Structure 1
Amino acid sequence: MFDFITKRSFLFNLLAVIVMFFALALLFFSMLGFITKHGQQLTVPDVHGKSVKEAIELLEKAGFEADVRDSIYIDSIPPLAVYAQTPDKGAQVKVGRTIYLTVNKTVAPMVKMPDLEGLTFRSAEMMLKSMRLNVGDTIYKPDFATNTVLQQLLNGKKVKPGTEVAEGSNITLILSSGTGSVENPVPNFVGLTYAEAREMLSASNLNPGTVIIDPGVSDTANAYIIKQVPTRKNEIGDFNMVRAGESVDFWLSATKPVTDSTATAKPVEQE
């Protein structure tokens, strides 16, 4: 074999190499379309909402590869269902192209509950959305600052900021509806414990205002109210009036004051 090559002139061998190179190049380029499957395109099927197993089987049957690229948690679709696909449905791509899938997680990740109290409803809604939490029920209660968040609840219970909650949880918001339009006489809280006064405030749709505590008080809930502002009656003996959503200030003492036994505390009627 080597004798055959060595007995030929250098120019002959060079020409042979050149001819062989062009022959191989021609063969390569003629087969390139077959190798790369040039011109062979398929339409990507829609696998949104299907289980990841069903989606992979459907894509492979259609002539594609499938790979789970990412995961996310969406409470409105089943666990391990396909949330997104790349390329998207209807795209024209080559045979054998890999379709990347984003699937729904089986367990909701935990996030820290934000502090919504004092925010407007719109701000609270945006913050919940950014944390992948949902606005649940909205309950209105009379208070000064209209449409601001007074409390945040989860499953009917107050949830503190920083508490870990599952993504997708529905957060109930207690919102301020502003003060009422109907005026009623101020209830008489003097002589009641602070705990009793809080119950009466709630029944009357009023709020506790400033609370001044005597140094001798060790148990605030069972301390007695010795003074309130506004008082039940003014200096000329007429009833002071209050609207739902307004506040009453209290002075607390460990000693129960002597009160008029004929005085009655009448809750403010709700609108």
Structure 2
Amino acid sequence: MAFLKADTPLDVLKHLLLIGVVGLLLVLGFFYVYLPMSTHHGETITVPKVTGMNVADLENYLEERNLAYFVDDSSYSPNIRPLTVLVQDPAPGEKVKEGRKIYLQVSMKNPPVIKMPKLTGGTSKNAMLILKSYDLSVGQIQLVPDLAQNEVLKQLVNGKEIVPGAPIAKGTKVDLVVGDGEGNQTFAVPNLVNMPEDEAITLLVGQGLQKGEVFELPAEDGQVPGTVVRQRPVPGPDATIRMGQLVDIWIAK
């Protein structure tokens, strides 16, 4: 107890020195002994690659490596097996502490349900782009007689029409009924020979036909310049044509 007495200034200095040494030992012990023991300082684990694995196989696989996982996101792809790991964080090869959770994005078991987009009234090419943007598949494309060339007339799922806004699962195949631009009404080929060019074209349009190529020929005896002298297809008792088809004409010049 004599050491603890502070009768002289030297004794006070000894006591202060002792307190400083004890305090330093406590600080060093806390940072270099206690913390490393409690936090496993310096002990790290290399994150394994788990993308492509099924979630059902992860628990034992990661537990053996003193790691855990948490599924925090999911997405759907018809070509990937359900519950397959798509993305992981941290990435493979990173160093982490024991017990660290690996956050995962996995493929969904059931496809999400969305609203069917409107495809009718637009072109078949535009419909395909819309289906792709909605993660829907293009099924069969059926051409039917109609003057609306390449226009989507109906949208079908499993043979039944589906209206815009109806629920539909992503990945579903959607069939398209598309106009062929010709129509199905047939009639006799009109005779345009000897008609003025403008009248012949007006007649074609009025009958639902289209002007094709226009050729010029030198006018022969008896032919009036500016009139039709030949046409294709040629008119005749048994010659028929369908709405939307082209008619070529030759004009006398």
> Shorter-chain TM-score: which interval?
0.5 to 0.7
Q: Deviations over 1:132-169 (max 9, x none)?
A: 32222333445455544332111121111111112221
Q: CA RMSD in A?
A: 3.9
Which of the residues 40, 46, 52 maps onto 2:50? 46
- Where structure 2 has 5 or more consecutive residues not aligned to the other structure, the ranges are 189-205, 209-234, 247-253
Aligned to 1:185: 186
Give the Å deviation of 1:91: 2.9
CA distance in 2, matches of 1:20, 1:135: 79
Match of 2:154 among 146, 151, 154: 151
Distance in 1 (CA, whole Å) between partners of 2:58 and 2:127 is 37
Cα distance in structure 1, aligned partners of 2:94 and 2:41: 14
- Could you tell me how far apart the structure 2 residues matched to 1:13 and 1:144 are? 107
In structure 2, C-alpha distance between the alignment counterparts of 1:43 and 1:243, rounded to whole Å:
69
| Residue in structure 2 matched with residue 19 of structure 1 by the alignment | 21
Relative distance call for 1:237 and 1:39 in structure 2 (3 A) is same
- 1:211-244 deviation per Cα after TM superposition (whole angstroms, max 9, x unaligned): xxxxxxxxxxxxxxxxxx749xxxx997773246
**C-alpha distance after superposition, 1:38-69 (max 9, x if no partner):** 3734142234241x121232122233221111
Equivalent-residue separation in structure 2 for 1:113 and 1:245 (angstroms): 34
Where in structure 2 are the equivalents of 1:2-151 lying within 5 Å? 7=5, 11-31=13-33, 35=39, 37-38=41-42, 40-50=44-54, 52-88=55-91, 90-96=92-98, 97-141=100-144, 143-144=146-147, 146-151=149-154
TM-score, L = length of structure 1? 0.56
Distance 2:176 2:29 in 1: 72
1:261 alignment counterpart:
none
Which entry has the higher C-alpha Rg, 1 or 2? 2
> SS at 1:27's partner residue?
helix
Residue 175, structure 1, aligned to residue 193, structure 2? no
Mapped to 2, the partners of 1:60 and 1:30 lie a distance apart of: 29
Residues 1:237 and 1:175: Cα distance change in structure 2 (over 3 Å): closer
Structure 1 stretches of 5 or more lacking a match?
188-228, 247-271
In structure 2, distance between residues paired with 1:144 and 1:18 = 99
Which residue type is aligned with residue 100 of structure 1?
Y
2-structure distance, mates of 1:83, 1:136: 27
Contact 2:156 2:176 in 1 (8 A): yes
Supply the distance in 2 between the matched residues of 1:76 and 1:141 (Cα, whole angstroms): 32
**Identity %, equivalent residues:** 31
Matched length: 195
